Amino acid sequence: MLEYKVQSLIDILNFRNDTLESYFEKEKRKVSIFKKKIISIFKKPIKMYLQKQSEPLVAYNNQDKSLIQLFFNQKKNDTDL
């Protein structure tokens, strides 16, 4: 009975047998080439849409000091933008 408990504990503690590289390799194989192509087609339009919707990014790009202070909690006279 003790051997069973010890083996169960070892199984629980050793559940991580993958290295980081082997984990990412397994994850890479899960995504089909078709899905990768579809994602690559829509990647840029989605990114552009999200950037347009981002008020902090628009404030940063326009150098709107009051909004930058609001979003990034920076002082008005901070010139390290």
Candidate from 13-17, 25-29, 59-63 with smallest mean pLDDT: 13-17
Give residue 44's pLDDT.
95
- Structurally, how many domains does the chain consist of? 1
- Tell me if 80 sits within 8 A of 64, measured CB to CB: no
For residue 44, tell me if it sits in a domain: yes
Choice between 23 and 13, residue whose per-residue pLDDT is larger: 23
- Please check the confidence at residue 76 and state whether its pLDDT lies above 90: no
pLDDT digits (tens, 9 = 90+) for 19-41: 889 889 989 899 899 999 999 99
> Can you tell me the distance from the alpha carbon of 54 to that of 1, in angstroms, rounded to the nearest whole number?
60
Range of the structural domain that residue 64 is part of: 40-81
Which pair of structure tokens corresponds to residue 35? 């899905």
For residue 61, tell me if it sits in a domain: yes
* Residues in Cβ contact with 59 at an 8 Å cutoff, skipping those fewer than 6 apart: 67, 68, 70, 71
